[in-house]
Each structure stands twice: as C-alpha cells, then as structure tokens.
Amino acid sequence: MIKIGIIGYGYWGPNLARCFSEADGAQVAAICDASPEARARAAKRYPGISVVSDPQEVMSDPTIDAVAIATPVRTHYGIALAALCSGKHVLVEKPMTETSDQARRLIDEAARRNLVLMVDHTFVYTPAVRKIRELVARGDLGDIYYYDSIRVNLGLFQRDVSVLWDLAVHDLSILEYVLGDQPVAVSANGACHVVGTQENTAYVTLFFGSGTIAHVNVNWLAPVKVRQTLIAGSRKMIIYDDLEPDEKVKVYDKGVTVANSTEQIYQSLIGYRSGDMWAPQLATTEALRTEADHFIACVRDGETPITNGAAGLRVVSLLEGASLSMKHRGGPIDLDVMRRAS
Amino acid sequence: MIKIGIIGYGYWGPNLARCFSEADGAQVAAICDASPEARARAAKRYPGISVVSDPQEVMSDPTIDAVAIATPVRTHYGIALAALCSGKHVLVEKPMTETSDQARRLIDEAARRNLVLMVDHTFVYTPAVRKIRELVARGDLGDIYYYDSIRVNLGLFQRDVSVLWDLAVHDLSILEYVLGDQPVAVSANGACHVVGTQENTAYVTLFFGSGTIAHVNVNWLAPVKVRQTLIAGSRKMIIYDDLEPDEKVKVYDKGVTVANSTEQIYQSLIGYRSGDMWAPQLATTEALRTEADHFIACVRDGETPITNGAAGLRVVSLLEGASLSMKHRGGPIDLDVMRRAS
Amino acid sequence: MIKIGIIGYGYWGPNLARCFSEADGAQVAAICDASPEARARAAKRYPGISVVSDPQEVMSDPTIDAVAIATPVRTHYGIALAALCSGKHVLVEKPMTETSDQARRLIDEAARRNLVLMVDHTFVYTPAVRKIRELVARGDLGDIYYYDSIRVNLGLFQRDVSVLWDLAVHDLSILEYVLGDQPVAVSANGACHVVGTQENTAYVTLFFGSGTIAHVNVNWLAPVKVRQTLIAGSRKMIIYDDLEPDEKVKVYDKGVTVANSTEQIYQSLIGYRSGDMWAPQLATTEALRTEADHFIACVRDGETPITNGAAGLRVVSLLEGASLSMKHRGGPIDLDVMRRAS
Amino acid sequence: MIKIGIIGYGYWGPNLARCFSEADGAQVAAICDASPEARARAAKRYPGISVVSDPQEVMSDPTIDAVAIATPVRTHYGIALAALCSGKHVLVEKPMTETSDQARRLIDEAARRNLVLMVDHTFVYTPAVRKIRELVARGDLGDIYYYDSIRVNLGLFQRDVSVLWDLAVHDLSILEYVLGDQPVAVSANGACHVVGTQENTAYVTLFFGSGTIAHVNVNWLAPVKVRQTLIAGSRKMIIYDDLEPDEKVKVYDKGVTVANSTEQIYQSLIGYRSGDMWAPQLATTEALRTEADHFIACVRDGETPITNGAAGLRVVSLLEGASLSMKHRGGPIDLDVMRRAS
C-alpha cells in the first residue's frame, strides 16, 4: 500500500485526492494547503486523514512514499525538489516547472535517487487521445499533414502564467504523445486585454522536420467553450471534439489523391476522396483515474511513466520557445539551436 | 438600362450572370469564356445573349457599359485595365489583383477616366456581416479585443494561388469593413502538403494599433466545412457561424469586469459576467444580388462603391504582407513600413 | 426522345421542369398553369417552350407522351384521369389522390391502357433512404423495433389539406419502401390552431403485425426545422437526419442483449451493447433527377415504377385511416378491415 | 436542525443524501437500504451516519423528523404510509405511487397528521422549467398551442414499470407546473420489444379544454440521448433542450398572423412572423439542491410544497389514463369521467 500526500487542495487537488483514495494499492495519508478554507473542505471530506498547512510536514513524514503536487506553477520546482530530496516519488501538475533548467534539475535529482518523477499531462490518459495515438502509430492516417486545435472558453484567468502555459500545454503534451516527434521551430503570438494579467489569447505554430505543421489556438476570453482538434493525414482525417458526449473521435476516409507522373503534376491533377466516417467506441474510464493507477504501478514496480520528467521537460521547452516568439510577434524560434544551447 | 458583359463563366461567373440578369436596371449583354464547354453552358442557359471567346470582343462593343470579371487571379489586372481603357466600369472578383502595384494602377486609371471600379468582396454584402458592422459601429461590443476566424473545408485546390489568397481574402475584407481600421503588423505561416501546389493551410495574425488582434485559420484540406468567427469586445461577444441556417449571428452578454483601483489590480480582481444570448433576425437577401444592385446604382449615379478599388488594394497589401511573413515562418512584417515604401 | 408536359408551375412544378429538361431521353414540350404570373415565369425561364393555361391543351397535343402533374391535391384525380384517357403516361405529385377510390380508378385506367402511372414519392429516390432500405433489407439492423420520425417547421399552411396529407405522406412513403410491410392498425391525433385551416399538428402511430411500431410527428407551426428519424432494430440502430449536410445516416452498433433462458428472463437480465458508429458515404445525386430518369426509363421500356400507383394507393389508404382516427382522438382503426371493405 | 432518513441508496438515493447533507438546516441522520453493497457504499461515503437495512429502524427512531424515499415504485406507498404513521414528513420519489387510490390515501394521512407530503418532481425545480413557467405565466407566449417533448435514450430498463411511468412522468409533472391546467382526455400507445419487460417505447397525447395539445415521446431503446421540448404559443415559441450546456431555453419571436375579417379568412390569409431569438441567462443551481431546500423550508415553516401530494396524484392519474389508453392502441380516455369516478 503506497501512502500518498496531496500538496495543494484548490481546483485540481480534490480530484487527485478522490482518485488516489479510490485507487487500489494506494492510500491518501495527508493533504496539505496553505489556505484555511481549503483545509476545512479537505477535513470535512476526508475525516480520517491528516490535513496540514506546511508542505514540510508532509516531507518529514517517513511513512509517506509519494506526493502529488497541485499548487501554483511557480511553486512546482521548490516543492518537487524538496519532495525528491526527502526520498518521495513525485507526481507534479502541468506545466512541470517554470523553466527548462528547473525541469532538468528535477530529472537529475530523481534519477540520482532512483525515484519516480511523473508529470500530470492528463489528456495523454484519456481514451480519446489514446485511440488517436493508436490510429496514428499503426499508420491508418498515413503521413501526418497537420494538427490544428482550438481550446477556448471564458476564464479562469491565472495570476502567474499566460494562457499559453495554462491551456496550450494540453495540446503540446498531446502532440508529444501522439506524434512521437519533436518540432524544429516555433512561431507564436498573442495578446493581453486585461491590465495586470498576462496574454489571454495566444496562437502557436510548430514546424516539424517531417513537414507536419501544428497549430494551437488558446483563449480565456471566448463566449463559448470549444475543444476541437483536426488531424489530417495522407490517408485519413480525424476530428476530435472533447465536448461531444459520445462520439469524441470521428475518422473520415477523406482526402486528396495526387497524380504521380511529372506531366500530371504540371497539370495539378488532384482528385478528391470522400468516403465513410467512423466513430470508434471509446472506453469511459476517467483519465485521472487511469493516470493514478499508472503512477502507483510505476512507484511499485520501478517503471518509467509515459509522461515522465523528460516529457515534461520537452513541453516546458516548447512553452519557453513559444513565449520567446510571442515577444517578437511571431518571429520564429529555431528549437534545435535552443536545445543545443541548453 | 446598364449593359453588362460577364468575363469568365467558370465557377463564379454563372452567379454573376444570374444576379445581373434578374436585377432591375441592368441587362447581361455578353458572356465571354475561353472554354468551349463553358460557352456551351452559357448559350444553353441564356439563348438570347451573345457568347464570345475573346474578352476583346466585349471591350470593343460600344453598347456595353460595364464588365464583371470572374477569371483566374493572374488575369484580373490585364482584363480590368483593358476594360477601363475601353471606357467600361469594372466589377472584379477577389482578390482584386496579384500585386498592390497592379491594384494602384487600376485605381489611377479608373479615377482618371471617372469610371466605377468595384471589387467583389461578397461577404461585405451579407446580412450577417452588415449586422456585425452595425453592432460594432454603434459600440455595442465596446472595445474590440479580437477577431478569430476558422474557414476550412476539403478543396478546391487553386492552380495559381495559395489558400491565403483564396480563403483568407474573405476575412481580410470582412475585417476591413467591420473594424474600419488598418493593422500595423502581420505574422503568418502555413504549409503545403501537395507537390506542385501552393500552401493549402495557413494561419495569419494581424496586430492593430488599438490593441485588437485578428487571427485567420484557412485550410483546403479539412474533413469538414467550418465557417466560424469569434469577435470579442469589452462589453459583448459575438459568434458568427455562416453555416447555421437561421441563427448565423449570436450576441453574448458575457465578459470580464476588471477592477479599477491600483490596489485591486495587484490582486488581479477579475469578475465574470454571464448574461443573455441574443440572435438578431437577419434579412434573407442573397449577398451577390445586393452587391449587383449596389454596382448598378454606383454606375448609374456616379457613387463610390463600399468595396471600391482602395478597399481592394488594402486587402491585396495585407495578402502581400502575409505571404512575405509566411516565407519567414511567421517573422512579423511592419505594414506601416510597407505602406510608406510603396 | 419522350416529350413531357408539366401541369402546374407553382412551388414544385419548376423543379420538375428543370429535372426533365436536363435529363437525357426527355424533353419538356409544354408547361401549363392557370396563373398568369406562373406562366410569365415559365416563359422567361424556358423561351422555346409552349406555355398554356388549360390542361386540355396539353392533353390534346398528340406529340406529348407523358405529363407530370404538380397541382393542388384536389385536382390530381381529374387531371391524371384526363391524361390517361388521352393516352399519356402520368407522374403525379404526392399524395396521389384525395381518396383511395380515386387512386384505384387511376390504377385501373392505367392498367387497361398499358400506361405508366407513377407517384412522386420523392424521398424514396434520395441516397439516404435507399441506403437505409439496403441496410434493412440485408438484415443489418435485425428485427425492426420501431421507426420514429419528427418532421416539423414553420409553414407553409396548405389550403386544401391538413399537415397529415402534406408532411406525414413523406414518412408513410418511406416506411412503405423501407419496411416492405403493411401496418395492421393506425392511431392518430392532432390539433388545429388557426381558424379556417385544417390540422397543423398531427401524430400518427402505425402498428405492424411483426411487432414493429412506427410513429410520425408532423407540424407546420414549429420554430425550427427538424427532419429526424430514429430506426431501431435488434442488431443496430439508425439516426437519419435529412438536414445534416454530410452525415445524413448514422448507424449505431448499440442495443440491448436479452438473456435466452427462462430463468434469466425472470431475472430481467438485459445487457447493453455500445459499439462503434458508422456513417456511410452517400451519393450526392439529386433525388428528383434520379426519379425523372426512372420515369423516363419506365415509359421507354414499359417497366413498373418503384413508386407505382399501387404504392400511391397504399399511402392514400393510410392517410384515410389516420384522418379517421384523428377525428376520434386516437381511436384505433383496423386497417385490414378497411382494406377488405374497399 | 431537521433530521432526515434516506430510504433507498441505489441510483437516486446517493443524490438525495448528498443534497441534504450539504443543505443548511438539515442533517442526514440515517441511510437505509436492503442491499449490503449499497450499505457498504453509504458507510464508506458517510462514516458518521447510521446505516441500516430495515426501513422500520428509521421509522422507530424518534429523533428523525422526515424521510426521503428513493426505492422501487411498488414500495412507495407502503414505506410512505409507514413514515407518515410514524409522524415523519415525507419526500417521495416520482411517480408518487402505483395507483391514484394509494396517492389519495397518502394525501389523507398527511393531512390528518399535519405532515408535509412532497413528491420529487425534480424538473419542476430546474432553472429552465422555472423560466419557462415564468414566461408562460406572464403571457409572453400568448395562447399555448402545443407542448411537444421527446425524451429518449438507451436504458435503463425498469423491472416494475413501463417507460411511461419512468420517463413520461417528467413531462407530465412539467406540464402540470407550467400550464396550471388539467387535460380533459388522453390517447397513448406504445410497444414492448424485450420479452419479460413492459413497454419500452410510448407516445402520449393530452387534450386540454383550452385547445392546447401536448405530446410526449419516451423511449428506453434509442441510440442517442435526446431531451427536447417545443412549446408554441400565439405570440412566441420556445425550444427547451436540457442537454445544451448553456442555452437550454431559446425563445423565438416567430409565428403566424391570421387575418381577422371573414373575407380574409375565406382566403386563408396567413402571414409568417420571423424575428429575433433570445436565450435567457439561467441560474446554475442544481435542481435537487433547490428542492431539498424547499422541503426543509416546508417542514420547518409548515408550508405547502409546490409539488405536494395533490400534484403527485394528478400525475399518477394521468399515467393511469395513459396506461389504459395504451392497452387500447390509442383509444381516447375521458379524464373528467375518470376523475368523477374516483
């Protein structure tokens, strides 16, 4: 039985507490939050569990094996480092850290101490994204042409990060998982319409060596909620709508057929294919529950998580590149150069 | 009765012929197309009208007052110039020309000869876009935060232009009409996935001096057709979905309210407003019919069209800027510098 | 080349004229309407064709082989009978006649003279309904449990018929074609909310010997247009939405599995199946064009139309039964008794 | 502080327990269920609360003021009667009882003992239905023409009741609340497709003296979930879609305008009005929480619940009438006669 401490009981922490308390093989041993109101809610919901205000109390408890961190981004590095130094396995909320340097130091610390370091890239554990990865991996879509996502809604403005670090991180983690490829360049731009906050609207374009292009449109100031992604390949195309109750993933047998001979190319002979649409049945498992089970298994068996520290670092690096480009109104950033520099 | 020659009877020309033949005060006097098949279709549909293969035959007919040009983009300049030099008023398909230099020369020629030069920015004449302009102009939306459009579908690949010049031109002409403001910079990127063609996927971001940001996502290789635009202001927000049969424009009384005092700003006090939604009744007039009537009135009364040569030039200049940025993977183009250079 | 006269050039007649004028093997030879405005529109659209005011002029023209009748329902019988007696093949708008007696007399007359008598049950010729029939016929759905349709919109109120005879007729003709089975009883009710008109809202339930139940909800006074049909079988279920631009027919691998053993039945052991959804690619052919080609082929080759007089009669009989039940607020009508009585 | 016992902890009971435990002024004092698994779940979720297997244990506890009953329909009467006889206030799940006789006896018993008897007609407490009632009550819709509801989905088959008693009951309770009028006749039909169960598909039509007609389409065997209601009046029309996340109620300024003079009526002069659509902002309060607060207030202050025993009885009577008609394939039942007979 793995004993887990939950650090942060604001918006996401209660979900972590619920999933770990229901999971087999684990037990929530402590909940920590600086806010008295949050602690009161935790105490009412989990009468038998220790509720504390200082993360240090969790770190110094030798019976606790692992911590799940759901605090503001700027505190991720400090708390995760303290946890690793206390010999605890770590599951940390996305984005992993504020900088790629911090992410690298956590990876090193975890490696040295042989501890599990996992990042909560929740969408990677949804049945929809897993199905999409399966379809892409076995070549059903052919060569991937583009990934185009819109992820907008009204609120919640974050204090310490822009909409890029809050919402685009989801798409970057999905891309990382589905494509299994790293972009070579990024161009991003955005705008801030509320004084005293960071960008609430942002657009990111990623260029891959394979010719794939990815585009992510994120916005905290939209009148309706949209979660829609188009993924097109040379053979098939996908629409992934996360708000659809039943048919989240639709696979279209549509596309263009290009003539092969030089002569025909000069004539721009393009034929359109339009065939059946198919919506595969998806499991109804809750993503965070799947993720909790995976974390428990990694801790127990010493395995490497799917969304390990390296995956978290890659996403943070992309966010850094995009943020830099956004300061230059879309001026492209060469990610290979950035990687070599680090 | 104004006599009109239709030049080009491919995809769009039949619509021009139909609208001008039904309009009061005008008469289609000639139809011209280089393709025998197109001429056969025109002759069958309009038995009493002269159908010719060479635009020169239209130009040299002294009874023809005006021409409507719906030929490939690369021929717009030559045909429009010949028509103006023959003393004919001109309605030319979007985009107006291939370069802003060409657009300027047409504007000069029309001015010198006191002829009407109008560009077929069709969306400007739709009841939906006119309603949106009305709402923006009278301040219902407050300060405009952003315009965010997605305009994607499968096909048709154009031979001589990229998706930018084929689809984004619609949004640029809508923006030009609705905002009444010119952007100061543009960043664009895109990708080409079919050998022998130009970009089939493109993303354009426009920056305005007012703080407004506009983003346009266009794609010829999408599994479904989407025509959706979000427009948000400090007071209200709009969703404009051109595929909705009845409620194309929805106005949301939603937004954020920001605290005014410095103290509160430091606390990032943002409140969310969520009120009624309202879908105004729109006229059901066909846009092209409204546009044909407007062209006829301008020719008859010597008035300046809403979408005159200057509007066409502004849109072509933006396309040039976006195309240049796209070559540099989003590197921003200062449009004021471009304008001064021309 | 079969020469066709179009009788009636109001709402539907222009579509018949267009489809027959474009079809191979046929030629529109005359158009007839009592209204001067309708005749003016026809003359403008078809300059070379004879436009007359009296159907008798069409009947007495020996060069005309067939007529297509799109006049008010109360005139169908008289005009169709006159046409048959003049030796012309007949395509008549739905519903075929006002009474089943009239329908029977037309069938007899056509049989005696060896002429084609076809009813314009347009939906039978749509790619969507043909695909549904194909799926049902080859057993993909298993035993058919129910057909449940909603067909509502605002207007147009008909002068001489209720919404039952105007809209429900579509569903009855689809049912007739898809199931290939005749109901044994009908229960219907409805309401009239506008003085001086017939029922604008009606509900029809049909009972089949097989256990299938069919329900049709039609309404001329609905704020939005809905055209949605659910068809469920023991193996699969269908949603047919005629307003969907691309995916009109969706096939769901969903249902219940019932235990077989007596013991289990007592325990009401019902399992739910939930599998993939599949939307077959449908042809984009216009239904009326397919129907015109079919009528031409039947006239030319002496074949029996799919929607022949007998099919038209069966639908009229159901409308009579439903109208009778509607007068008794849903009191059921035994259709076998009605059939024997006629 | 009112102490409440929850009887039945299957599908709905946990919701009652949650709402009453969160509500001010109440406290869940006991939970009762015959199933050991249900009791285990209750005990895990509410560690401090007494969990028992026999309702009698709740009845005989003098500290308990009220019970909320969420057991199978066939047990409602017995448990509710026992609770009233033990001096407890009662909130009972819908439908109130299996027969109107039982309902009447409960009403009498509650009246004699001066206890609150409330039926859990949950939809009456939703912000959407309350808004609709408000619009109808203040005459915004004009004369009500019809109420037309479709409420279908896959499962869950009930053992002891038909889909009529399980799903149609929702619409009957909404109608009762929104119209404030009682129907004079009912016609219903349905079908059973699974051996050993009751009707899984049913259609109910209600006739009102005012000319209003109501139709309810319920189905346990549909491939998708639909919860859509059209309500039309002489002035405005409503679409109420309970599955819409934000705009559940849309009000359309649409309709027909009928000419007044006799002469015009003979000409069937009907004009169509088509105006704006408006979706009022709705509260986001959970219906069951509102209902729990209302029950607590009624118990505390001795007030009569909105959905009191009489409302429950009226709904049960309609279900009896509809069930009777369903046995006769839609043969109409005169509800006034039924009411006088009881």
Q: Does C161 or A182 have the greater pLDDT score?
A: A182
The residue behind tokens 């879908």 is B279
Chains B and D form CB pairs within 8 A to the count of: 28
Asked if A194 and B258 come within 8 Å (Cβ–Cβ), the reply is yes
Q: Which residue of C has its CA nearest to B246?
A: C224
Q: Does B250 or A268 have the greater pLDDT score?
A: B250
Q: Which residues of B touch C248 (CB under 8 A)?
A: none
Q: Which of B28-32, B107-111, C115-119, D38-42 has the weakest average pLDDT?
A: D38-42
Q: Is D183 exposed, middle or buried (0-12, 13-18, 19+ CB in 10 A)?
A: buried
Q: Which of B230-239, C100-109, D19-28 has the weakest average pLDDT?
A: D19-28
Q: Which residues of B40-79 are buried (b: 16+ CB within 10 A; e: fewer)?
A: ebbeebbeebbbbeebeebbebeebbbbbbbbebebbbeb
Q: What is the pLDDT of residue B243?
A: 95
Q: What is the pLDDT of residue A171?
A: 98
Nearest CA-CA distance, residue B234 and chain C, Å: 32
Q: Is the pLDDT of residue C166 over 60?
A: yes
Distances (CA, A) of D126 to D121, D148, D170, D290, D310: 10, 18, 12, 8, 20
Provide the mean pLDDT of chain B.
93
Opening angle at CA C213, ends C208 and C218, nearest 5: 120
Q: CB of C276 within 8 Å of any CB in chain A?
A: yes
Q: CB of C24 within 8 Å of any CB in chain D?
A: no
Measured in Å, how far apart are chain B's first and last C-alpha atoms? 39
Q: Which residues of A touch B157 (CB under 8 A)?
A: 256, 268, 270
C contact test, residue of D146, D157, D257, D326 with most C CBs within 10 A: D146
B contact test, residue of A74, A143, A147, A154 with most B CBs within 10 A: A154
- Mean pLDDT, range A161-178, rounded to an integer: 96
Q: Which residues of C touch B223 (CB under 8 A)?
A: none
Q: What is the pLDDT of residue C13?
A: 96
Nearest CA-CA distance, residue D31 and chain C, Å: 27
Q: Which residue of A has its CA nearest to D224?
A: A246
Which residue, A200, A58, A232, is CA-closest to B145?
A: A200
Q: Is the pLDDT of residue A259 over 70?
A: no
- Cα–Cα distance for residue pair A145/A215, rounded to 1 Å: 11
Q: CB of C159 within 8 Å of any CB in chain D?
A: yes
Q: Is the pLDDT of residue B340 over 90?
A: no
Q: CB of A159 within 8 Å of any CB in chain D?
A: no
Condensed to tens digits (0 to 9), the pLDDT of residues A224-236 reads 999 999 999 999 9
Asked if A48 and D47 come within 8 Å (Cβ–Cβ), the reply is yes
Q: Is the pLDDT of residue A267 over 90?
A: no
Q: Is D159 exposed, middle or buried (0-12, 13-18, 19+ CB in 10 A)?
A: middle
A119 strand-pairing partners: A92
Chains touching C, CB cut-off 8 Å, 3+ pairs: A, B, D
Q: What is the pLDDT of residue C263?
A: 42
Condensed to tens digits (0 to 9), the pLDDT of residues C209-266 reads 999 999 999 999 999 999 999 999 999 999 999 999 889 999 999 988 765 544 433 4
B251 strand-pairing partners: B238, B278
Provide the mean pLDDT of chain A.
93
Q: Is the pLDDT of residue D267 over 60?
A: no
Among candidates A253, A274, A278 on the partner chain, residue whose Cβ is nearest the Cβ of C276? A278
The residue behind tokens 């939603």 is B254
Q: Which residues of B touch C48 (CB under 8 A)?
A: 47
In this structure, the number of other CB atoms found within 10 A of the CB of residue C160 comes to 14
Among candidates D194, D201, D252 on the partner chain, residue whose Cβ is nearest the Cβ of C258? D194
Q: What is the pLDDT of residue A31?
A: 97
Q: Band of the pLDDT at D270, cuts 50, 70, 90?
A: low
Q: What percent of chain A has pLDDT over 90?
A: 82
Among candidates C246, C276, C280 on the partner chain, residue whose Cβ is nearest the Cβ of A281? C276
Q: Which residues of D touch A281 (CB under 8 A)?
A: none
How many residues comprise chain A? 342
Chains touching B, CB cut-off 8 Å, 3+ pairs: A, C, D
Q: Which residues of D touch C187 (CB under 8 A)?
A: 187, 189, 329-331
Q: What is the pLDDT of residue C203?
A: 98
Q: Which residues of A touch B185 (CB under 8 A)?
A: 329
Helix (H, G, I), strand (E, B) or coil at D239: strand
Q: CB of A155 within 8 Å of any CB in chain D?
A: no
Q: What is the CA radius of gyration of chain B?
A: 21
Q: CB of D279 within 8 Å of any CB in chain C?
A: no
Q: What is the pLDDT of residue D7?
A: 98
Q: What is the pLDDT of residue D258?
A: 66
Q: Which residues of D touch B255 (CB under 8 A)?
A: none
Q: CB of A277 within 8 Å of any CB in chain C?
A: yes
Q: CB of B61 within 8 Å of any CB in chain D?
A: no
Q: CB of D224 within 8 Å of any CB in chain A?
A: yes
Nearest CA-CA distance, residue D139 and chain B, Å: 20
- Cα–Cα distance for residue pair D226/A212, rounded to 1 Å: 39
Q: Is the pLDDT of residue D47 over 80?
A: no
Q: Is the pLDDT of residue D219 over 80?
A: yes
Q: Which residue of B has its CA nearest to A189?
A: B205
Chains touching D, CB cut-off 8 Å, 3+ pairs: A, B, C
Condensed to tens digits (0 to 9), the pLDDT of residues B188-212 reads 999 999 887 899 999 999 999 999 9
Q: What percent of chain D has pLDDT over 90?
A: 82
Q: What is the pLDDT of residue A114?
A: 97
Q: What is the pLDDT of residue B196?
A: 78
Q: CB of B47 within 8 Å of any CB in chain C?
A: yes
Q: CB of B331 within 8 Å of any CB in chain D?
A: no
Q: What is the pLDDT of residue A266?
A: 42
Nearest CA-CA distance, residue B205 and chain A, Å: 8
Q: CB of B62 within 8 Å of any CB in chain C?
A: no
Q: Which residues of D touch C185 (CB under 8 A)?
A: 329
Identity of the residue numbered A83: A
Do C231 and C240 touch, CB atoms closer than 8 A? yes
Q: Which residue of B has its CA nearest to C18?
A: B45
Quote the DSSP letter at residue C238: E
How many residues comprise chain C? 342
Q: CB of C263 within 8 Å of any CB in chain B?
A: no
Q: What is the pLDDT of residue B233?
A: 96
Among candidates D145, D194, D329 on the partner chain, residue whose Cβ is nearest the Cβ of C193? D145
Q: Which residues of C touch A247 (CB under 8 A)?
A: 277
Q: Band of the pLDDT at C45, cuts 50, 70, 90?
A: confident
Domains delineated in chain D? 2-123+287-308 (3.40.50.720), 125-282+319-334 (3.30.360.10)
Among candidates C185, C213, C230 on the partner chain, residue whose Cβ is nearest the Cβ of D222? C230
Q: What percent of chain C has pLDDT over 90?
A: 82
Nearest CA-CA distance, residue A84 and chain D, Å: 33
Q: Which residues of B touch C224 (CB under 8 A)?
A: 246
Nearest CA-CA distance, residue D108 and chain C, Å: 35
Chains touching A, CB cut-off 8 Å, 3+ pairs: B, C, D
Do A97 and A106 touch, CB atoms closer than 8 A? yes
Among candidates C145, C197, C232 on the partner chain, residue whose Cβ is nearest the Cβ of D268? C197
Q: What percent of chain B has pLDDT over 90?
A: 83
Q: CB of D232 within 8 Å of any CB in chain C?
A: yes
Q: CB of A335 within 8 Å of any CB in chain B?
A: no
- Cα–Cα distance for residue pair D123/D132, rounded to 1 Å: 12
Q: Which residues of B touch C21 (CB under 8 A)?
A: none
Lookup: tokens for B281: 């009744």
Q: Band of the pLDDT at C159, cuts 50, 70, 90?
A: low
Q: Which residues of C touch D325 (CB under 8 A)?
A: 330
Q: CB of A280 within 8 Å of any CB in chain C?
A: yes
